[in-house]
Amino acid sequence: MSQAATASTPAPARTSRGAGNLGDIVFEWACRGAGVFVLLLLGAIIIELFIAGLPAFRAFGLGFIWSTDWDPVQEVFGAGVSIYGTIVTAVLSIVLAVPLAFGVAFYLTELAPVWLRRPVGTAVELLAAVPSIIYGMWGFFVIVPAFATYVQPTLIDTLGELPGVGFLFQGAPFGTGIFTASFILAIMILPFIAATMRDVFEQVPPVYKESAYGLGATTWEVMKGVVIPYTRVSVVGGIMLGLGRALGETMAVTFVIGNANRISGSLFGPGNTIASLVALEFGESETGSLKLASLLALGFILFVLSFVVLATSRYLLRSRLKA
């Protein structure tokens, strides 16, 4: 049919194709240009943060990374405490969130009646949509009082007495601190990990599961023997994605971390993370000051941390993304 059209009216077809060629070139370059723009954007973010943080690296050397000093009065700055807090809260939040997320994903793929899957799945995803500042307020006005009055005194009186690990649960029950921050973070990343797990669980070919059921396996045995081995790599990728989120979360942590520039042995002790320190101290930093440079250097370090974690996550999830 197109041949007939070209044959009967060749001239208009040629002009339209000519315009099409120009249009094609413009459009393709617009698309490619936008792609390159995104590339340059990420590059610019890394370079800008590095340049802005350079005075801090110059002043304190590489020791900036592990020095635990943060003294705005003496103008001595180090990233050690906030890097420690960032990693500890993120890892702890993963420890808390992964079992929950696994339970939710298992329930949604294997256990829940079909009519319940969509509403429950949507509800869990909505948990991911709640803005982080709302988690911060909720944490501060609801979780912190509950922790200070009930959870922490109980844990301090019981687990705090244990030999060996007791030191993790000692100190004053402020309600805020490393543990509270990890707890809020865990709730925030739970839906991300659960959604990834659910998606990869659903990709297991039904025939594998059915043959296992046919052999008389229970639901849990199918999970353990078929689904988890089949999806292991992607599940770890999903967990890394959650870890990446937890590393850079700002608002929720800022409200509850207790912001102290010391490393506390106890999980209930205060600490800070890179993001919370930057958010809290930025307003009191003068342009051109060493403090501002140190905060931007912290931003650069956070970027490197997140980049490594997110890149790993993407590498592990690549098979799922291709599918």
**Residues 177, 190: Cα–Cα separation, whole Å:** 20
Number of residues lying near another protein (CB under 8 A): 139
Nearest residue to 188 (alpha-carbon basis) of 131, 263, 271: 131
Smallest distance, another protein to C-beta of residue 69, A = 8
Which of 5/165 has CB closer to another protein? 5
Verify binding: residue 235, another protein, rule CB under 8 A. no
Taking the complex as a whole, the smallest distance from the CB of residue 162 to another protein amounts, in Å, to 19
Encoding tokens for residue 179? 């543990």
Contact status, residue 242 vs residue 312, Cβ threshold 8 Å: no
Give least dist CB 311 to another protein, A: 7
Sole binder of another protein in the list 111, 154, 157, 202 (CB under 8 A) = 111
Which of 313, 138, 183 minimizes the C-alpha distance to 236? 313
**Least CB distance to another protein at residue 239 (A):** 13
Least gap, CB of 147 to another protein (angstroms): 9
Stretch that binds another protein, among 58-66, 87-95, 159-167, 291-299 (CB under 8 A): 291-299
Interface residue with another protein among 261, 266, 267, 294 (CB under 8 A) is: 261
**Residue 95 interacting with another protein (CB under 8 A):** no
Judged by CB under 8 A, the residue of 59, 67, 91, 219 near another protein is 219
Per DSSP bridges, beta strands 70-71 and 76-77 are: antiparallel
In sequence order, which ranges of 61-177 are alpha helices (DSSP H)? Answer: 80-106, 114-129, 132-138, 144-146, 152-158
Q: In the window 5-64, what residues touch another protein (CB under 8 A)? A: 5-6, 13, 16-17, 19-21, 23-24, 26-28, 30-39, 41-42, 44-45, 48-49, 52
Radius of gyration of the chain (CA): 26
**Per CB under 8 A, which of residues 135..194 are in contact with another protein?**
135-138, 140-142, 144-145, 148-149, 172-177, 187, 190-191, 194
Q: Which range, of 57-65, 127-135, 158-166, 195-203, touches another protein by CB under 8 A?
A: 127-135
282 binds another protein (CB under 8 A): yes
Give the count of beta carbons closer than 10 Å to the beta carbon of residue 307: 13
Distance in Å, CB of 168 to another protein, minimum: 17
Question: Would you state the structure tokens that stand for residue 282, as one six-digit string?
Answer: 């930025």
How far is residue 225's CA from residue 131's CA, in Å, rounded to a whole number? Answer: 38
**Closest-CA residue to 147 (of 122, 195, 183):** 183
Give dist(CA 170, CA 269) in Å, integer.
Answer: 8
With CB under 8 A as the contact rule, the residue among 59, 65, 100, 159 that binds another protein is 100
* 279: nearest Cα among 97, 128, 94, 136: 136
Candidate ranges 58-66, 87-95, 160-168, 238-246; the one touching another protein (CB under 8 A): 238-246
